[in-house]
């Protein structure tokens, strides 16, 4: 059964969520702090995350940012009392997959989580090698997006799902240099997240739209 990590510091909400998710057959891990959430992602390998924004140690956004910086593409649903459009946009920009405001409807939350899990299962099943894909050429990346050769190399490694640490080691440069270059190339590509770099570099052929 699917594993879900709930990051929520309000005990009543966390427990209610855990109950309803477990009664749906999910395996649930609970974190009440940002630091704990990040270590549980590594140890528990959840297939989806429910992420509160107001946490006692660090903002939920930083959890999301750190996750994506590590190259994790686990689907994240933000569950927050913050209803402003700017908050939602910030979440999506940092790589969130969905956003539900509190107070929330339990059936709706469950339906959205099920949709995220289905999507995750579909993309995992569609192995890149078995799909008919074309890769944007180096020339296209240079001419169309103005990427430098080093940015192109790193964009391809990001699209390949490598983490910053792996890229740094492979190229013999520092983790921070890799991070800075990725920020630059996301900007040039107009990509909101690392996952979007993959989507951009590997375009399906014969797309009419
Ligand atoms: Ca909270």
Domain boundaries, the chain: 3-126, 134-203
Question: What's the gap in Å between 194 CA and the centre of ligand 1?
Answer: 27
**CATH for the stretch 3-126:** 3.40.50.2300
Question: What's the gap in Å between 8 CA and the centre of ligand 1?
Answer: 6
Question: What's the gap in Å between 20 CA and the centre of ligand 1?
Answer: 19
Question: What's the gap in Å between 55 CA and the centre of ligand 1?
Answer: 5
Instruction: Give domain 134-203's CATH number out of 1.10.10.10, 3.50.50.60, 3.40.50.460, 3.40.109.10.
Output: 1.10.10.10
Helices 175-189 and 164-171 meet at what angle, rounded to 10?
A: 110
pLDDT for 134 equals 62
Residue 55 CA to residue 25 CA, distance in Å, equals 27
Domains 3-126 and 134-203 in one fold: no
168: tokens are: 């740094």
Residue 104 CA to residue 79 CA, distance in Å, equals 8
Asked if residue 154 lies in contact with residue 181, where contact means CB atoms within 8 angstroms, the answer is yes
1: tokens are: 């059964």
Q: Which of 3-12, 33-42, 58-67, 198-207 has the lowest mean pLDDT?
A: 198-207
**pLDDT tens digits along 147-199:** 999 999 999 888 877 888 989 999 999 989 999 999 888 888 888 778 778 77
Closest CA to 199 of 57, 95, 116, 44: 95
pLDDT for 203 equals 59
Q: Left if phi > 0, otherwise alpha if psi is -120 to 50, otherwise beta: which for 207? A: beta
């Amino acid at each position: 059964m699917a594993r879900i990590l709930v990051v929520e510091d309000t005990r009543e909400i966390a427990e209610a969520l855990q109950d309803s998710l477990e009664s749906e057959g999910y395996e649930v891990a609970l974190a009440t702090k940002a630091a704990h959430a990040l270590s549980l992602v590594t140890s528990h390998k959840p297939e989806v995350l429910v992420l509160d924004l107001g946490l006692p140690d660090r903002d939920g956004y930083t959890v999301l940012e750190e996750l994506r910086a590590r190259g994790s593409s686990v689907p994240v649903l933000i569950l927050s009392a913050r209803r402003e459009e700017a908050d939602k946009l910030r979440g999506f920009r940092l790589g969130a997959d969905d956003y539900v405001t509190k107070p929330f409807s339990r059936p709706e939350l469950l339906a959205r989580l099920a949709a995220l899990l289905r999507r995750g299962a579909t993309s995992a099943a569609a192995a890149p090698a078995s799909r008919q894909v074309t890769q944007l050429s180096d020339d296209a990346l240079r001419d169309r997006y103005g990427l430098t050769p080093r940015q192109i190399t790193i964009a391809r490694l990001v699209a390949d799902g490598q983490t910053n640490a792996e890229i740094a080691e492979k190229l013999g440069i520092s983790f921070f240099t890799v991070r800075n270059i990725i920020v630059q190339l996301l900007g040039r590509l107009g990509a909101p997240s690392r996952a979007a770099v993959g989507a951009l570099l590997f375009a399906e052929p014969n797309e009419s739209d």
